[in-house]
């Protein structure tokens, strides 16, 4: 039987282990839920990622996959997961402080302090990153101010992919895609910024040497083999920040608009240089390192299906099965006309992200009435996410001079046919949906096959893997959404004084 690579796709709400063949086909998968936990002994609202729980769930998904395909078929494996989060560790991999989860609010004050000290524009010039509360720089600064021994007793800082990869192969690693989410990397030189390291009392020795996607980190240890059911010595390959692999798995090339949609949505381009103009800074664009060396991904980060999960949890709690809940939600929303009965939702549930960040807009619902139903709320949430996408595309195009003819949508949010049609209608352009709904997994698999020796490089693998797709064209509803989008864009400026006082 043919060889496969194993991709651990570790999201903030779900963990999936997937087996992918050299043609990019998903052969088998196994999943487990994921989430945050309150920090034991911490203040109210402090949230962490429990690495022991995460590791146990990861091993369970891998074992479930191995039961389906067999350990002998796995040529190599990798871990792709979210950015910004990490932890200080000793050389033997022991954490000296838990992983502060991106949802934890504790870093807000230190973010404001450091931003005032350096200036948000200066930070942006160096790192290509906007000042967002959950950036790694601010977590390290919080530790330096509040728990300095956690840094003093540690030897290295690892990001989430590195924390899981170390448990697999025993090696300490930091991939370039994750490093670019830390707000400490100088994107022009692709080296660590001395002044930002100094600001948190560290030097470059505190971070491992950067690895690039497709590079072999190490081999699966005997202990990890026993816990996962895989064969000892299986190569462990670097990938990294999950978002950066969706363009590869979707078949997207340079200068093509891509929407990676999951808990968060990221609309991006792939370019040959970072984008750090005044306009880009003012309108919230950030730039990360692409999975391919020498390319960059200017993008806007904004809330995505996390907003729809909020609707599900609060308006459909009686339907415990998530799949059935969404089937009900989508069915109800289809019976509601564009405009959601007068409701509009601004989905900026994390105010310092997305196109409305300059107005400090929080998640907002306007237009509620006695006839409003949960279906109206859900429809308004999807429409709000589409209006947000349209504005994000406008900003990205104005900053780069690029005018897309279509937008390629990948990730979990691409599985919702009603939402895809809304995207096409609101943006008045075709939406391209790859037949594989797991573009991140396919993209990470391409890099893993490079490590396994099947492909010469990521671009080589991308060219050799066919990516079938379908196109969703705008419908007759596009005209109705034109005026609704204009009304939507009035909300954030109109509420600026409310949210900034």
Spatial separation of the C-alpha atoms in residues 254 and 37, rounded to whole Å: 39
pLDDT of residue 501: 77
Residue 442 lies in a domain: yes
Mean of the pLDDT values across residues 401-421? Answer: 90
**Tens-place pLDDT, residues 432-479:** 998 776 888 999 999 999 999 999 999 999 999 888 889 999 999 999
3-state secondary structure of 475: coil
Say if residue 461 is in the same domain as residue 485: no
Residue 67 lies in a domain: yes
**Tens-place pLDDT, residues 309-352:** 999 999 999 999 999 999 999 999 999 999 999 999 999 999 98
Number of domains in the chain: 3
- Residue 24 pLDDT exceeds 70: yes
pLDDT of residue 436: 72
Spatial separation of the C-alpha atoms in residues 99 and 97, rounded to whole Å: 7
Strands (E), 160-261: 174-175, 185-186, 191-192, 210-211, 216-219, 235-237, 257-261
**Tens-place pLDDT, residues 42-66:** 999 999 999 999 999 999 999 999 9
Backbone angles phi, psi at 26, to 5 degrees: -75, 115
pLDDT of residue 255: 61
As a whole number of angstroms, the longest Cα–Cα distance in the chain is 64
Residue 441 lies in a domain: yes
pLDDT of residue 12: 85
Tell me the pTM.
0.85
Residue 111 lies in a domain: yes
Examine the fold and report which residue of 191, 217, 240 is the final residue of a domain before the chain moves on.
240
**Tens-place pLDDT, residues 96-136:** 999 999 999 999 999 999 999 999 999 999 999 999 999 99
Residue 245 lies in a domain: no
Report residue 74's pLDDT band, with 50, 70 and 90 as the boundaries.
Answer: very high
Residue 57 lies in a domain: yes
Say if residue 63 is in the same domain as residue 30: yes
**Tens-place pLDDT, residues 124-183:** 999 999 999 999 999 999 999 999 999 999 999 999 999 999 999 999 999 999 999 999
CATH of the domain at 441: 3.30.420.40
Which residues form the domain of 350?
A: 305-397+477-499
Length of the chain: 501
Examine the fold and report which residue of 188, 206, 240 is the final residue of a domain before the chain moves on.
240
3-state secondary structure of 452: coil
Task: Answer with the residue of higher pLDDT: 421 or 411.
Answer: 421
Percent of the chain clearing pLDDT 90 (strictly above): 85
Report residue 411's pLDDT band, with 50, 70 and 90 as the boundaries.
Answer: confident
Q: Which two tokens stand for residue 77?
A: 């494996």
Say if residue 272 is in the same domain as residue 365: no
23-37, 249-263, 391-405: which is most confident: 23-37
Say if residue 388 is in the same domain as residue 423: no
Say if residue 441 is in the same domain as residue 493: no
Count CB-CB contacts under 10 A for residue 181: 29
What residues have CB less than 8 Å from 449, skipping those under 6 apart? 5, 22, 75, 76, 455, 461
Say if residue 357 is in the same domain as residue 462: no
Say if residue 299 is in the same domain as residue 269: yes
3-state secondary structure of 469: strand
Residue 246 lies in a domain: no
Mean of the pLDDT values across residues 349-376? Answer: 95
Say if residue 381 is in the same domain as residue 409: no
Say if residue 181 is in the same domain as residue 289: no
Contact 7, 18 (CB under 8 A): yes
Task: Answer with the residue of higher pLDDT: 411 or 10.
Answer: 10
Say if residue 285 is in the same domain as residue 377: no
Say if residue 299 is in the same domain as residue 309: no
Contact 119, 65 (CB under 8 A): no
DSSP 353-407: SSTTGGGTPPPEEE---TT--HHHHHHHHHHHHHHHHHHHHHHHHHHH----S-E
Residue 200 lies in a domain: yes
**Tens-place pLDDT, residues 247-303:** 899 888 666 789 988 888 999 988 888 888 999 998 889 999 999 999 999 999 899
Say if residue 367 is in the same domain as residue 493: yes
């Amino acid at each position: 039987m043919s060889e496969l690579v194993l991709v651990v796709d570790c999201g903030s709400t779900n963990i999936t282990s997937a087996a992918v063949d050299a043609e990019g086909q998903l052969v088998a998968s196994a999943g487990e839920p994921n989430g945050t936990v309150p920090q034991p002994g911490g203040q109210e609202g402090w949230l962490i990622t429990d690495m022991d729980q995460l590791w146990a769930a990861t091993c369970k998904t891998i074992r479930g996959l191995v039961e389906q395909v067999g350990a002998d078929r796995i040529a190599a494996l990798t871990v792709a997961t979210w950015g910004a989060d990490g932890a200080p560790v000793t050389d033997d991999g022991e954490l000296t402080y838990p992983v502060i989860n991106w949802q934890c609010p504790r870093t807000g004050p230190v973010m404001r302090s450091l931003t005032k000290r350096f200036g948000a524009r200066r930070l942006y010039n160096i790192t290509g990153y906007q000042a967002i509360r959950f950036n790694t720089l601010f977590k390290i600064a919080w530790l330096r101010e509040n728990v300095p021994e956690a840094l003093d007793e540690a030897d290295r800082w690892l990001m989430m992919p590195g924390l899981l990869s170390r448990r697999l192969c025993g090696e300490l690693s930091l991939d370039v895609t994750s490093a670019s989410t830390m707000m400490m990397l100088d994107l022009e030189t692709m080296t660590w910024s001395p002044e930002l390291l100094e600001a948190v009392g560290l030097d470059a020795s505190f971070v491992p040497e950067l690895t690039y996607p497709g590079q072999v980190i190490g081999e699966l240890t005997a202990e990890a083999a026993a816990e996962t059911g895989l064969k000892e010595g299986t190569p462990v390959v670097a990938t990294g920040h999950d978002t950066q692999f969706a363009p590869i798995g979707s078949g997207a090339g340079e200068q093509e608009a891509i929407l990676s949609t999951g808990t968060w949505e990221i609309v991006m381009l792939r370019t040959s240089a970072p984008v750090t103009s005044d306009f880009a800074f003012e309108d919230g664009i950030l730039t990360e390192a692409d999975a391919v060396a020498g390319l960059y991904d200017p993008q806007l980060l904004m809330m995505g299906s996390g907003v729809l999960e909020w609707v599900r949890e609060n308006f459909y709690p009686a339907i415990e099965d998530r799949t059935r809940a969404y089937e009900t939600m989508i069915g109800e929303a289809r019976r509601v006309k564009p405009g959601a009965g007068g409701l509009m939702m601004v989905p900026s549930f994390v105010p310092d992200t997305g196109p409305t960040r300059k107005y400090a807009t929080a998640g907002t619902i306007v237009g509620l009435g006695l006839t409003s139903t949960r279906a109206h709320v859900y429809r308004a949430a999807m429409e709000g996410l589409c209006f947000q996408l349209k504005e994000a595309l406008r900003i990205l195009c104005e900053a780069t001079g690029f005018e897309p003819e279509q937008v390629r949508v990948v990730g979990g949010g691409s599985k919702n046919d009603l939402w895809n049609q809304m995207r096409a209608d609101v943006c008045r352009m075709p939406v391209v949906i790859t037949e594989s709904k797991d573009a991140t997994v396919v993209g990470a698999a391409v890099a893993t096959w490079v490590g396994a020796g099947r492909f010469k490089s990521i671009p080589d693998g991308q060219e050799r893997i066919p990516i079938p797709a379908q196109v969703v064209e705008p419908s007759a509803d596009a005209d109705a959404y034109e005026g609704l989008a204009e009304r939507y864009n009035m909300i954030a400026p109109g509420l600026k004084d409310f949210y900034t006082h």
